[in-house]
Structure 1
Amino acid sequence: MAIPAYLWLKDDGGADIKGSVDIHGRDGSIEIIGLNHGVAQPTDKHNGKMYKDGKLIETGYSGALTNKNNPDRQHVKGLGPLPRGTYKIAGHSNSKGPITIILEQTSGESFGRSEFRIHGDHKYGPAGFASEGCIILSPSTRRKILRDGGVLEVVR
């Protein structure tokens, strides 16, 4: 069963940004349609693909092992993907490596979870195992998000 999740893109004035792409038909997926920061890349969290103006920007992921990109596991601390809700881009650090974006949840259930981040994959070892619930993206995409700021909204 596909579980849609939508992220609406807004500019600094609060107006909708045009060009989001609907993504449908992935069983058990959270489907993200847009991000509310200037980068404007809709994401299908079932396979981690991010789009801008209908073009693939990047493939990332959230969560670990069988919890990876699995919306039914959003409640699992340290393993499940980023829970539904609204997140403010609250700054950055190097806590999980270079260009770690700090997400501050402003609405939604956290399931007792905290310290949500957007960061990169492991530098050494196999790729695809760096997330304990954070969103994993490339340095260039993280730089764009930091530059543009804004709000990330995940809705089922």
Structure 2
Amino acid sequence: MGEANAGRTEPLLLPWEMKRKIQDEMGGFEIKLLLEKQLFPTDLCSKHNRFSIPINKISKEFLREEEKKVLETRSGDGNKLGGIRVKIVDPCLREYDSLLEKWAITSPIYNLTHQWISVVQDNQFQCDDAVQLWSFRVPHDELCFALVVPLRSSDPSDCI
């Protein structure tokens, strides 16, 4: 699944508090682990303000057909692909409004943009931190994401 997963022996389970937040508070369902990756400098840079999700590293399909079409549709000027409004739940169970976009650089890649740098700053993420990205749906079939840092305490009371 990615370099951050190398040598891992314990199962990849969603922390109990995150699962409770997703299912009980948000009515979430279809919870899927998409990838585990190490954060790169570009994931942490305020100028870039985006979390990259390499499509070839994603372990499960998570998009609906209509969402794929939106991500492939170009804007009126033809320069920018469409985006999907999503919510991100951080390791401290805070919610952020974001946008999922698909970029075609050398190979296609998804990016979480809009407020991503707030997630980075609020969680004091560092280069090479391992993070897990989970997807889930909430009522009305809205796409959401959860970020888990496997090597940190999963107790939200430890958050800043």
Q: TM-score, normalized by length of structure 1?
A: 0.32
Q: TM-score, normalized by length of structure 2?
A: 0.32
Q: Which has the higher strand share?
A: 2
Higher relative contact order (CA 8 A, sep 6+): 2
Q: Which has the higher helix share?
A: 2
- Asked which structure has the greater CA Rg, the reply is 2
